[in-house]
Amino acid sequence: MTLRALTTDEYALIGGITADSFFDDPINLWVFNNKAAMTLTFTALAKHVMLPRGFGHVSEDERSGTMWLPPSASHDLPITATIALAPRLLRAGGIKAVQRSLKIDASLARIRPEEPHYYLFSIAVHPDHQGRGEGKRLMLEGLKAADKSNMPVYLESSKESNIGFYQNFGFEVLAEHKVSEHSPSMWPMWRKPIA
């Protein structure tokens, strides 16, 4: 599998790849209710946050990819993009999708480490391609920047079954986190700098 860097105009591509890969993700289903709402949100985040402020990679066949933010990059969606997304998200996912997306954003902001770090927003492999080593190659490619800078890396695993995958790269679980009493769990994870 050959990887290439995403360009800033490929937000729809990586937004779609991420939604396809996260279609059965417990926390994203709880927040967004369906894949259409996920696609809208992931595409908006890619367009306004992840690609212009960070970087990502995509496989040659465009079935897998990642989105990363470097240290000091803002995670916040610009207010104009938030205003544009809200009515579309309301139509696609309903009022709960809007409410829960705001709730999860605030909750994750509270638990995000203050120490400067690289942030892995998503590592997405289409279900038909999972188990072929694509996730490993994507992770190693993204970790190059953090390792070159001798910086830690942070992520939130939204599936307990993925924890072992991340642990293979040196990530450690910080805690089990719930956005609310009725939400699925998430696992914030931290990888110390590799000297």
Burial of 34 (0-12, 13-18, 19+ CB in 10 A): middle
Per DSSP, 128 falls in state G
Angle between helices 79-93 and 95-111 (to 10 degrees): 130
Domains and their CATH numbers in the chain: 3-153 (3.40.630.30)
Q: Rounded to an integer, what distance in angstroms lies between the CA atom of residue 90 and that of residue 101?
A: 11
Position 131 scores a pLDDT of: 87
- Structure confidence at residue 185 (pLDDT): 97
Q: What is the pLDDT of residue 195?
A: 67
Q: How far apart are CA 39 and CA 182, in angstroms?
A: 24
pLDDT for residue 1:
78
**Global pTM exceeds 0.85:** yes
Residue pLDDT, tens place only, 18-67: 999 999 999 999 999 999 999 999 999 999 999 999 999 999 999 999 99
CB 117 within 8 A of CB 145: no
CA angle 186, 74, 119 (to 5 degrees): 45
- pLDDT value, residue 81: 86
Residue 82's nearest CA partner among 101, 104, 107, 108 is 101
**CB-CB neighbours of 54 under 10 Å:** 21
Rounded to whole angstroms, what are the CA distances from 5 to 43, 51, 100, 138, 142? 17, 10, 31, 11, 10
CB 22 within 8 A of CB 121: no
Task: Provide the pLDDT for residue 34.
Answer: 93
Give the chain's residues under pLDDT 50: none
